[in-house]
Amino acid sequence: MGPTAIGKSALALKIKKKFPEIELLSVDSKLVYQGLDIGTDKPNKKDLKENFHRLINIKSPKEIYSAIDFYKDSIKEIKNILKFGKIPLLVGGTMFYFKVLLNGFAYLPPSNPLIRQYIFEEICFKKKKRLFDMLKQIDIISSKKIHMNDVQRVLRAVEIFFVSGGFSRSTLIKSMHTQLPYKVYQFGLIPYKKDLLYKKIEERFNNMLNNGFEDEVRILYQSQYLNPSLPSINSIGYKQMWMYLQNKCTYQEMINDTIKSTRKLVKHQLTWLNNWKDITLINDNQINILIKKIKKILECNK
């Protein structure tokens, strides 16, 4: 695991080629969506064909893919990988997904788009503060863990209360805590120098723009089924470009806000890593150390 733009995907491909017994499993909330390729820095078609990644391109961008969906899908894929005598290597930067997988997940009722829409539009009149105030009334514990601006998660927590018949999200989560029945080795890739990573973020986004990112988002923009409230579109880079296409910001403002938001995400991801338990942190300029450690683990577990 590690922050965005640090080179996790490239490293995973390198490890996969060196150790054929490994199967790759993506832990990324955006790579699940078809059509979100350039802006997510998704491995290219050649790499995906030669090195199969599980949980990439499994959903339409009009669908909502939640943490519980990832939990169920990843457990299923891990079992399939092990069944064929392979070893799963989980790679990604969606820290919450890693947390859910490692610590277990309570059963939560499936999402209902119509109920979510009714709650947000008819009850809360599209006011996120009103929505958050409702969450504080029905689930004070969740309200302390979810930021008011994270409308999708706030709305999901409120929806759970309605759909479950009055049980709060925190109560349901507390009722079940199942950990993985496997031995897990955790590695975090961190930047040797943050300034170099920030420079890499700028270079990467400029490359995305040169490789047709605007055209990619324009195709999504022209779809009648997509809008900025969907998790696929409401993600860094895509939402900024969407605003540019709506003439709500200039091209340079779109670039500046994307880079600024990406840096903010990196800081958030590094905070998760620095507080993570049972993890080996390795600088991004010492990947050979990680490869040696993986080789030793594989040899010891044969």
Q: What is the pLDDT of residues 199-212, one digit of tens each?
A: 999 999 999 999 99
Q: Mean pLDDT, to the nearest integer, of 42-57?
A: 93
Classify strands 280-283 and 187-190 as parallel, antiparallel or unpaired: parallel
DSSP-derived letter for residue 253 is H
Determine the residue type at 186.
Q
| Whether pLDDT at 179 is above 60 | yes
Q: pLDDT per residue over 63-106, tens digit each?
A: 989 887 898 899 999 999 999 999 999 999 999 999 889 887 66
The CATH classification of domain 113-174, taken from the options 2.40.37.10, 1.10.3720.10, 3.90.550.10, 1.10.20.140: 1.10.20.140
Closest CA to 87 of 184, 187, 188, 8: 184
Q: What is the pLDDT of residue 197?
A: 97
Q: What is the pLDDT of residue 105?
A: 64
Q: What is the pLDDT of residue 175?
A: 61
Block residue for tokens 């955006």 = 30
Q: Mean pLDDT, to the nearest integer, of 34-41?
A: 97
Q: What is the pLDDT of residue 181?
A: 87
DSSP-derived letter for residue 226 is -
Predicted model pTM: 0.79
Question: Cα angle vertex 257, ends 252, 258, to 5°?
Answer: 100
Rounded to an integer, what distance in angstroms lies between the CA atom of residue 266 and that of residue 8?
Answer: 13
| Whether pLDDT at 178 is above 70 | no
CB atoms within 10 A of CB 225: 10
Instruction: Name 87's bridge partners.
Output: 22
Rounded to an integer, what distance in angstroms lies between the CA atom of residue 113 and that of residue 156?
Answer: 10
Instruction: Name 272's bridge partners.
Output: none
Q: What is the CATH number of domain 8-105+178-300?
A: 3.40.50.300
CB atoms within 10 A of CB 256: 13
Could you give the maximum distance between any two Cα atoms of the chain, in Å?
Answer: 59
Rounded to an integer, what distance in angstroms lies between the CA atom of residue 240 and that of residue 249?
Answer: 8
Q: How confident is the model at residue 193 (pLDDT cuts 50, 70, 90)?
A: very high
| Whether pLDDT at 108 is above 80 | no
Share of the chain above pLDDT 90, in %: 77
Q: What is the pLDDT of residue 177?
A: 57
Can you give the residue ranges of every domain in the chain? 8-105+178-300, 113-174
Query: Taking the alpha carbons of 247, 252, 255, 261 in that order, is the dihedral positive or negative?
Result: negative
Closest CA to 165 of 108, 104, 120, 113: 108
Q: pLDDT per residue over 220-265, tens digit each?
A: 999 999 999 899 999 999 999 999 999 999 999 999 999 999 999 9
Which of 42-46, 59-63, 169-173 is the least confident region? 169-173
